[in-house]
Amino acid sequence: MMNTNQVIKAPTGSELTCKGWQQEAAMRMLMNNLDPQVAENPDELVVYGGIGKAARNWESFHKIIATLKKLENDETLIVQSGKPVAVFKTHDHAPRVLIANSNIVPSWANWNHFYKLESEGLMMYGQMTAGSWIYIGAQGILQGTYLSFVEAGKKAFGSTDLSGRLILTGGMGGMSGAQPLAGKMAGAVTLVVEVERKRIERKINEGYCDYLVTDIDEALQLVNKYRQKREAVSIGLVGNCADVFPAIYEKGIVPDIVTDQTSAHDPINGYIPNGMCFEQALVLRKKDPKAYEEKAKATMGVHVQAMLDFQASGSEVFDYGNNIRAYAKETGVENAFDFPGFVPAYIRPLFCEGKGPFRWAALSGDPEDIYRTDRLVKEMFAEDESLVKWINMAQKMIQWQGLPSRICWLGYGDRHRFALEVNKLVATGEIKAPIVFGRDHLDSGSVASPNRETEGMKDGSDAVSDWPILNALLNTAGGASWVSVHHGGGVGMGYSQHAGQVIVADGTKEAAEKIKRVLITDPGMGVARHVDAGYDIAIETAKEKGIYIPMMDSEV
Amino acid sequence: MMNTNQVIKAPTGSELTCKGWQQEAAMRMLMNNLDPQVAENPDELVVYGGIGKAARNWESFHKIIATLKKLENDETLIVQSGKPVAVFKTHDHAPRVLIANSNIVPSWANWNHFYKLESEGLMMYGQMTAGSWIYIGAQGILQGTYLSFVEAGKKAFGSTDLSGRLILTGGMGGMSGAQPLAGKMAGAVTLVVEVERKRIERKINEGYCDYLVTDIDEALQLVNKYRQKREAVSIGLVGNCADVFPAIYEKGIVPDIVTDQTSAHDPINGYIPNGMCFEQALVLRKKDPKAYEEKAKATMGVHVQAMLDFQASGSEVFDYGNNIRAYAKETGVENAFDFPGFVPAYIRPLFCEGKGPFRWAALSGDPEDIYRTDRLVKEMFAEDESLVKWINMAQKMIQWQGLPSRICWLGYGDRHRFALEVNKLVATGEIKAPIVFGRDHLDSGSVASPNRETEGMKDGSDAVSDWPILNALLNTAGGASWVSVHHGGGVGMGYSQHAGQVIVADGTKEAAEKIKRVLITDPGMGVARHVDAGYDIAIETAKEKGIYIPMMDSEV
Ligand SMILES: NC(=O)c1ccc[n+]([C@@H]2O[C@H](COP(=O)([O-])OP(=O)(O)OC[C@H]3O[C@@H](n4cnc5c(N)ncnc54)[C@H](O)[C@@H]3O)[C@@H](O)[C@H]2O)c1
Ligand SMILES: NC(=O)c1ccc[n+]([C@@H]2O[C@H](COP(=O)([O-])OP(=O)(O)OC[C@H]3O[C@@H](n4cnc5c(N)ncnc54)[C@H](O)[C@@H]3O)[C@@H](O)[C@H]2O)c1
């Protein structure tokens, strides 16, 4: 089942190898997810986020590709946890691929049952954009991380200027690897603790991180030097957070912002326990998963306790979406939830306007196509200073990984207007091949995750997961190119349900129609979800933009 | 919020009051679900199966109706747990309504959290066809119950002739009320224990049950008399199963078939504990739900133990889909799962061919329209003796409830062929108004429920719920008139996820196109699901009928 001799790279250029651009896009984006520049561990089909995979196994991968190649423009391929299970005739305004990953009936929805199913070849972990073929590398999370840091600063010290400030965090993997660069973009000194040396090396090669150090004191000397100079810099420190965080605390240092993005969502195949070296941990994981799980959870307890200590000393502390508080609480850290998740703390107001991690990729493979879209963003949204600033920084600081792409948080109304303009540029040939528009499942209306995206909803509806399902059904009705429904992304098995969608702008009139439907309804469901929960910003947005909410209509 | 003064009846006839027949059909079927002839407790919007509701509350109900009345033919109404939350523009081949009911993120997916959400007005329990507007009264379950009894007989004593045999079961409510008539149709003497007298009276009025008795010995005398005469008859005995089953066992009587369909899926608002009279139970339920729940579960333990005792004495015993074994096991009946569920025991082979509880209703309100479809069934499937027999019995024995309707288990290939012919009869006016085609969520490819529909799957994939989600996405892609995704139906919160679809034959060319897609893909997903699990009958069906399964194609 191993793919020892094959490096996956998406074809580029404007020649079709499938029977239509939607199939071609699905194929290229699946392959792009496994591009060694993009994926964390392509040999095992792992894209990011612990064991988030793009296909169940290599046999399934090849069958998906082969099926996409012969799929007609009125057919739909059905993918169940990374395996192609059927093709049915639908119609040209229906999605070309429908995907469901890692969904388990609730009473069985835990990691143990998942791993049982996985070991029997019946399931894979789809994370969010791994199994739905719209991961675009570290950039995908970069803008969100940057926004969170800026908002945390704004809240903590009333200023978006983070120069001279220290951010302390953990994890430099697939998504967490965005942290050093995001912190730097925000102007801070960023210290990231990562247990696996190789991960830091990779981020240095990619230009996401400036320094690698192995010693706490050396790290703190660098921190001091750059804080004094008020110079933005990022430092990767090889170590376990549960060792390093308490050590820094003991020294009396109080970072301005403390968070964590280690793979704590998965205490068996993600998070690394302390009290042993990295290699020993890998051996224990294989030999005795039960013992490993216990040690990992205990380590999270220590890790979270240190974060609570920092909070008590005045740091702005938040959970960065890996569910570490829940596992720490399990091991007895009763007040683990004393620090908030990043969504209620900083992101929800954006969700109320339908804003979230929108992104696009150029199927041509040509960076010039993305630069053209960058110019379009700056033209169309010239009055949005921070967005223009974002595009300028992104161009300067982000290296391409796989197909050139751009992350850009746009909200209801802007997404479809922008995509329609891009579709025109594809039609005229100014952009050389179709552009693929997608988003994270962490978005305005596409996720229920009570320890993360829907933590602390105003009306108490955190755990209601009707919403992501309706989002997926509606995007299917609207004619997205592919639609997915996942369970367990971000925070692990049992803790979330969420949906994704991707839509292809191939320059045709049909694509424009689909864009006009899907890129309105997709963020529109986000606004509606927050209207229902009683958020004023969402209610205002719905009124202003004319989103029809029956319960707000006094005339019917 | 109570609807004290209003009786809901669907409009009938061939005049449109909405802007299209799909909206009209959704409206009439929602209203039909709450018709007092159809619903168990229409004042509280309860349709069947414990607290399975058609709309969140009366305000939501009226808003749904008002919104459907003005909904355009290219718009889609979004319904979240019985409340209309948004309308978006889609297109004419998309569903008119998308529904998600009772979905909860798995770690919170239990009755306690559900009731918390419900009490805060955030959720309702949709059961299966209650919240998806395609319940057709007791008939909906009648054929399935009949088939199960016949199959149980075949397995136990190698004959489909049940004359002189005794079936002992519990429950005479919404769906369980089909048991006395189904047992009679199968030729047996059927003794049904039901704790609420009124329920039995209702079934007698409806012609579903022959006798009401209040005394065990009187019941057993009737049983003996009719077994000796080999005459089919049904008897309702007022009592609690946990009292009556052991008492019958103590008398040394061994029924041929033993099962149960009390509302055990809900230990708080469904099942009635023993050791107190029915009215006392209702008081306790209000006063101390926690104590009630414990007593209810303990009662289930006694109830299941009696079923196990019958099994040990030679009865054919099966669980009839209310999850009573799981709750009994919780209270310490370790071997509760020693008797099987009815699906692995009798129904799965039918699922492998895409067969399941297909049904249709006549929007005209005119029984003649259903009689016309009955004739069509007998013409088109003349070679299928048992189907013809079923239609003949149904015509004779089933009273109409609300809109005239027919249940008829058809499989892959037959459903769409039949519906296309009906669509033609609607077009010519021979059938006076459109016909609505739907099915139970308990169907071939639309449910994951490890203690019921997916119990004991060949490959161990019982808890994999990617399948019902894919089913809903695909039916949405194909253009069903309304599509729904629910959680907790049948077996209660945490134990199931499932999907429904309804499609309207209004005689148009567009309806024919949609029928050709949806009534192929819907049972097609059922065949594909069982192919994936390795069932030979499903693999044969896929080959024979040309369902495309990529992993079976050696050429790609
Ligand atoms: N909130 C968000 O928007 C958001 C975004 C991205 C990721 N996440 C969450 O962050 C987590 C990480 O995602 P990822 O894609 O980077 O996963 P990943 O597995 O690629 O990277 C995690 C990194 O953490 C390191 N690590 C594990 N245990 C450690 C420990 N005890 N001390 C120090 N380092 C340790 C691992 O070596 C790895 O490099 C996931 O839980 C994910 O769901 C949240
Ligand atoms: N397998 C299937 O196809 C299938 C079909 C229908 C219903 N069911 C299941 O059967 C159950 C009943 O469904 P319903 O629609 O009839 O519900 P319902 O609530 O309308 O009826 C249940 C009946 O059981 C009675 N009852 C409760 N506790 C009792 C006890 N201890 N002794 C005797 N009677 C008792 C109630 O008074 C009520 O009349 C549900 O769990 C449902 O999911 C399964």
Residue A319 pLDDT? 97
Q: Which CATH class is domain B139-340?
A: alpha beta
B263 CB near ligand 2 (under 6 Å): yes
Nearest-5° Cα angle at A436, A527 to A59? 110
Start-end ranges of CATH 3.40.1770.10 in chain B?
1-131+350-545
Query: Per residue in B458-473, pLDDT tens?
Result: 999 999 999 999 999 9
CA-derived radius of gyration, chain B: 22
Q: Which pLDDT belongs to residue B179? A: 97
If residue B201 lies in a helix (H) or strand (E), which one and from where to where? helix B197-205
Query: How would residue B3 be classed by pLDDT, with cut points 50, 70 and 90?
Result: low
Residue ranges, CATH 3.40.1770.10, chain A: 347-381+409-545
Report CB contact under 8 Å: A466, B494: no
Confidence of residue A401 (pLDDT cuts 50, 70, 90): very high
The architecture of the domain spanning A347-381+409-545 is: 3-Layer(aba) Sandwich (3.40)
Closest C-alpha among A57, A100, A59 to residue A77: A100
For ligand 1, is residue A141 a contact (CB within 6 Å)?
Answer: yes
CA distance B21 to B32: 15
Fold for the domain defined by B1-131+350-545: Urocanase fold (3.40.1770)
B98 and A449 within 8 Å at the Cβ level: the answer is no
> Nearest CA of chain B to the CA of A201: how many Å?
37
Q: What are phi and psi of B77, to 5 degrees?
A: -90, 135
Q: What is the mean pLDDT of residues A522-527?
A: 98
Render pLDDT for B246-261 as a digit per residue (tens, 0 to 9).
999 999 999 999 999 9
Are A39 and A177 contacting, i.e. CB atoms less than 8 angstroms apart? no
Ranges for all domains in chain B classified under CATH 3.40.50.10730:
139-340
Which of residues B125 and B398 earns the better pLDDT score?
B125
- State the pLDDT at residue B386: 86
Categorize the per-residue pLDDT at A274 as very low, low, confident or very high, splitting at 50, 70 and 90. very high
ipTM of this predicted complex?
0.93
Let me know: does B13 contact B89? Beta carbons within 8 Å: no
Contact between residue A50 and residue A102 where contact means Cβ atoms under 8 Å apart: no
Judging by DSSP bridges, how do beta strands A316-317 and A257-258 pair with one another? parallel
Gap between the Cα atoms of A476 and A168, Å rounded: 41
Give residue-wise pLDDT tens across range B163-211: 999 999 999 998 899 999 999 999 999 999 999 999 999 999 999 999 9
> What's the CATH superfamily of A139-346?
Urocanase like domains (3.40.50.10730)
Tell me the nearest-neighbour CA distance from B397 into chain A, angstroms.
38
CB within 8 Å: B520 and A89: yes
Return the structure tokens found at B157. Answer: 């004593």
How far does CA B540 lie from the centroid of its chain? 28
Centroid of ligand 2 to alpha carbon of B263 (angstroms) = 3
Instruction: Check if B240 has its Cβ closer than 6 Å to any atom of ligand 2.
Output: yes
Catalytic annotation, residues of A: 408
pLDDT of B555 strictly over 90 = no
CB contact under 8 A, B91 and A461: no
For residues A328 and A245, what is the distance between their CA atoms, to the nearest angstrom? 15
B492-539 tens-digit pLDDT: 999 999 999 999 999 999 999 999 999 999 999 999 999 999 999 999
Q: Is there a contact between B168 and B191 (Cβ–Cβ < 8 Å)?
A: yes
Burial of B64 (0-12, 13-18, 19+ CB in 10 A): buried
**Residue A322 · residue A264 · CB < 8 Å:** yes
Q: How far apart are CA B141 and CA B122, in angstroms?
A: 30
Backbone angles phi, psi at A81, to 5 degrees: 40, 55
Is residue B408 annotated as part of the catalytic site, yes or no? Answer: yes
Binding residue positions of B for NAD(+): 49-50, 127, 194, 199, 261-265, 271-272, 320, 490
Closest ligand by atom to A452 CA? 1
- In tens, the pLDDT along A1-18 reads 555 568 999 999 999 999
